[in-house]
Amino acid sequence: MIKSRSTACLLATATVFGAFASVQDARATEAVAGRYVPGAFAGPGAGIVPPTPGVAYWAVSNVYYHGEASGQIPFGNGSVAVGMSGDVWATVLAGIYVPPLHLPGNWTYAVEVAVPIGWTGAKAQVGPFGVDQQVAALGDIAFAPVVLGWHNDAMNTWVSASLTITAPTGEWKQGDLAFIGLNYWTFSPAIGFTYLVPEHGLDFSAKFGVDINTKNPDTDYYSGATAHLDLSVTKDITKSLSVGAIAGFLDQIEDDRGAFADTHNGFRGRSIAIGPLVKYKATFGEKTEVDFTLRWAHEVEVENRMKGDAVFFDVAGKF
């Protein structure tokens, strides 16, 4: 059960990143922006929903990303930027609550919420002028009203299914290069899977999801749906220390729609990112465990998007 509690905490950590990303780290879509950070869901316990009713879990997740892109990038109402580079720092406060429903057949129901706060800096050439902007503000808040989990009796195979709704609550201004929110709603169904091999200290996890967006009402631009898959393998080195490898894959499965996209074959984006993972489990007293996880995702192949590196530092525990 110690292993189960630990990986359940990490589910909260992983989930928050599907709820928030900024203009500098994204697919094609408007301003090459989207809600999925490559490798965001990759980590131990990605398919685990906490199995204990009446318990709440928390996570504080931090991400830094630097990326650069050449070529033309649509933003605002018909505006086009060239040669964008950018940085983002985001801190996301997330919580998972398991209501005391006591479902039959090893099923679990939970709800989640994620509130991001971020800073973005962007540089690009817009017409004859070089533009350098920065902004710090609240991001787009995400809520998952449906999170279902199942595990077998041996508690070594876990499956999850969820729906996350992200609202346009973040800072966004038409025509700005740097912004925190995206000014449209996103609906993200996802499934997760985790297989544990306790005798060898191994965790194999995967998370697949699709981000389905509404149109930006101020720019009349529609960012096409994107599918993403995250994979990880983690090995326990000691009782407290684990190491592993992660990979993230993104494929935009639907064309953008707008004046720019219509003249650029739908402006679909793709990305592949890989990197290492280190996790440390700290114990405070007899019952309190806190997981610290550090991940690095390096984009090795991209199309119609920025190319760069994301560093994640997650802290997760249980109330």
Q: What share of the chain is helix, strand, coil (3-state, %, to 5)?
A: 10, 55, 35
Burial (CB < 10 A; 0-12, 13-18, 19+), residue 154, is exposed
User: Nearest 10 degrees: CA dihedral of 152, 161, 19, 22?
Assistant: 100
Q: Which pLDDT score is estimated for 68? A: 82
Q: Is 289 helix (H, G, I), strand (E, B) or coil?
A: strand
Looking from the CA of 170 toward its CB, the CA atoms found within 13 Å total 34
- Alpha carbon distance 70, 81 (integer Å): 10
How confident is residue 62, by pLDDT bands cut at 50, 70 and 90? Answer: very high
Given a cut of 80, is residue 70 above it in pLDDT? no
- Closest of 87, 166, 141 to residue 119, by C-alpha: 87
Question: How far apart, in Å, are the Cα atoms of 223 and each of 80, 134, 214, 270?
Answer: 15, 23, 8, 14
CA 102 to chain centre: 29
**pLDDT of res. 141:** 96
Share of the chain above pLDDT 90, in %: 58
CA dist., res. 94 & res. 99, Å (int): 16
Give me the percent of the chain exceeding a pLDDT of 70: 85
C-beta of residue 194 within 8 angstroms of C-beta of residue 203: yes
The domain in which residue 83 lies consists of: 2-318
CATH classification of the domain holding 9: 2.40.160.40
Instruction: Give me the number of domains the chain comprises.
Output: 1
The structure's pTM equals: 0.85
Give Rg (Cα) of the chain.
19
Contact 158, 193 (CB under 8 A): yes
Distance, CA of 74 to CA of 66 (rounded, Å):
19
Question: Is residue 9 over pLDDT 60?
Answer: no
Cα(19)–Cα(147) distance, integer angstroms: 14
> Distance between CA atoms of 230 and 245, rounded to whole angstroms?
11
| Listed range (23-32, 56-65, 115-124) with the worst mean pLDDT | 23-32
